Amino acid sequence: MTDIFLEGGRTLIGSEFVETSLALSGQDIAEVDASRGRARLAIDARNLLVLPGIVDLHGDAFERQMMPRAGVDFPIDVALADSDRQAIGNGITTVFHATTCSWEPGLRSADNARGLMEAIERQRPQFAADTRFHLRHETYNLDAEAEIGQWLTDGRVDLLAFNDHMDGTVGDMAKPRKRNRMVERTGLSSEEFDRLVGHVLSHASEVPASVSRLAATARAAGVRMLSHDDATPAMRQGFRAMGVAIAEFPVNEDTARAAASHGDAIVYGAPNVVRGGSHTGWTKASDMIAKGLCSVLASDYYYPAQLLAAFRLTADGVLPLTEAWDLVCAAPARATGLADRGVLAEGRRADILLVDDSVPLRPRLIAVISGGKLVHLTDATRLLGMAATPREAVVAA
């Protein structure tokens, strides 16, 4: 692997920006405040921000590559390869593909989740981003419990989220537009969809025990867990008691405060920040951030959002960039247990972004380094050329 030298740059070291150079060796940062030495590839980072790569613990935009229109499918391997390029092109060097495993057939079925997991495992060596599997288990999908438990035990799941969208599904059945979208996604007829929902609802009493068993399996396997759309402090407390330490999209401030008071990681969507509010009309993420009630921003359904959100928070005076960047980088790394990344320091994984911040609110990625490899470059004039291989190395070879 080619050693890389990053010359100059306003580099995020700890909690401040420092004018310095970095030397990378293999997958790691070898030295901060370095000289070029024998690095074979040098990149001019002067007048650019040098930032740790983004960690996205919840992104499901890959679904649009799989099914760009209702009923129009593309092969999983093609969709994942395109999603990898999109993630890297937006500064995401660690991506958890948030894959729904629902009682529905079609795009969000257990069969599709299994296929995605297997495709990620096959293609992982080819991806530029460090790609992981975030399983979003719809808790009413009781038939999948045994299989998911085995996946957890076998180490095939990197994050496990407990989702319960059943109330929303029932409510949307009375809204023609949303109902049609759900039905199209499943590939069922309208009558078949109604019968399926009725059957699933008839087993509601079995859901809590199933959740408890899966949480116990995840704890034993060392898999970190999230609860999705917690509606009350009591709901958050119940999940916390099962070892679910990440609150994903709590729907109101009381629940977010209950999570924060116990040190839970609190996740909101970066698109919420970029757009100035939730598309569902729920909690405004920037307000939660200002109140200290959000510790992680995820891409959710739009890969560009994390990069844009950090700069939006700074432009709006909510947080300085050093703290805003923590929301998309170091904090998600901590929440997911990835101690080797999220900050720029010697010995840490070399996931690094070079960003031109000269246009307010529109940061432009110049280069992306993932695991010590230059995987994205938009300005080749930044390359300073290859250092000559020392004669001794040639003779020794």
pLDDT value for 395: 39
Compute the average pLDDT of residues 76-102. Answer: 96
pLDDT of residue 146 exceeding 90, the answer is: yes
pLDDT tier for residue 396 given thresholds of 50, 70 and 90: very low
352 pLDDT more than 60: yes
Span of 32-36, 236-240, 323-327 with lowest mean pLDDT = 32-36
Amino acid at 13: I
State the average pLDDT for the chain. Answer: 92
- Separation of alpha carbons 389 and 333, rounded Å: 36
- Tell whether the model's pLDDT for residue 284 goes beyond 60: yes
User: What percentage of residues in the chain have a pLDDT greater than 70?
Assistant: 96
Q: Is the model's pLDDT at 394 over the cut of 50?
A: no
- Express each pLDDT in 86-98 by its tens digit: 999 999 999 999 9
First-to-last alpha carbon distance for the chain, in angstroms, is 16
Which pLDDT band holds residue 24 (cuts at 50, 70, 90)?
A: very high
Backbone φ/ψ region at 375: left (φ over 0), alpha (ψ -120 to 50), beta: alpha
More confident residue, 107 or 26: 26
pTM of the model: 0.92
Question: CA–CA separation, 5 vs 8, rounded Å?
Answer: 10
Strand partners, 54: 92
Average pLDDT of the segment spanning 318-332: 98
Res 301: pLDDT = 94
Q: What average pLDDT does range 216-244 have in this prediction?
A: 97
Assess whether pLDDT exceeds 70 at residue 280: no
Q: Would you say 159 and 100 are in contact if contact means Cβ atoms under 8 Å apart?
A: no
**pLDDT (0 to 100) of residue 234:** 97
pLDDT digits (tens, 9 = 90+) for 298-315: 999 999 999 999 999 999
pLDDT band for 165, please (50, 70, 90 cuts). Answer: confident
In this prediction, residues 329-337 reach a mean pLDDT of: 98
Q: Who contacts 8 (Cβ-Cβ below 8 Å, separation ≥6)?
A: 19, 20, 21, 44, 45, 46, 47
93 contact partners, CB below 8 Å, separation of at least 6: 53, 54, 55, 129, 130, 341, 351, 353, 368, 369, 370, 371
Q: What pLDDT band is residue 397 in, cutting at 50, 70 and 90? A: very low
Tokens of 369: 């380094």
Instruction: State both tokens at 36.
Output: 């070029």
Determine how many CB atoms are found less than 10 A away from the CB of residue 321. 19
The CA distances from residue 37 to 178, 189, 386, 388, 390, in Å, are 60, 66, 12, 11, 11
Under the banding of pLDDT at 50, 70 and 90, the label for residue 279 is: low
Please answer whether residues 59 and 47 qualify as being in contact, where contact means their C-beta atoms are separated by less than 8 angstroms.
no
Amino acid (one-letter) located at 293 = L
Q: What is the 3-state secondary structure (H, E, C) of 347-388?
A: CCECCEEEEECCCCCCCEEEEEEECCEEEEECCHHHEEEECC
Q: What pLDDT score was predicted for residue 1? A: 58
Alpha helices in the chain (DSSP H): 62-66, 76-89, 110-123, 145-153, 166-172, 176-186, 190-201, 207-221, 233-241, 253-261, 270-275, 285-290, 305-315, 321-328, 330-335, 391-396
List, in order of start, the domains of the chain with CATH numbers: 4-52+343-396 (2.30.40.10), 54-335 (3.20.20.140)
